[in-house]
Amino acid sequence: MTDNPQPPNIQFDVNLPSEIETGVFADFANIWHTPNTFVLDFLSVKGPAARSSDAEPPRLPVKVAARVRIPPEQIFPLIEALTQQGQRWLRENGRSAPPANWAQQGPPAE
């Protein structure tokens, strides 16, 4: 008997409804959190940026294509999985680093 029993290995039987299996396109994502959840908003650009006046910066019309809420305990495994997939994508596409402008795409996070 061990002092730290291992939890059972659980395998997921994923059911992807046909109406969402093609997914949605997003130009960028905005991520924010509350004390109890992380929210990932995937946003799509609706049209070109426009100014309402010369005194204001241009405004880019966007819509939320999808909103995903996850518990805080899941954000770190998600970060790790995204990092692994990003590194795999770089290797598979013969790149040693992300595209030069990857951090400048999309509006700044609020």
Strand order in the sheet with 62-70: 28-33, 38-45, 62-70
Contacts of 32 (CB under 8 A, 6+ apart): 38, 39, 41, 109, 110
pLDDT digits (tens, 9 = 90+) for 29-83: 999 999 999 999 999 999 998 888 888 888 899 999 999 999 999 999 999 999 9
DSSP E strands, the chain: 28-33, 38-45, 62-70
> Can you name the residues that pair with 50 across neighbouring β-strands?
59
pLDDT at 8 over 70: yes
**Amino acid in position 9:** N
Interacting residues of 55 by C-beta distance below 8 A, sequence separation 6+:
none
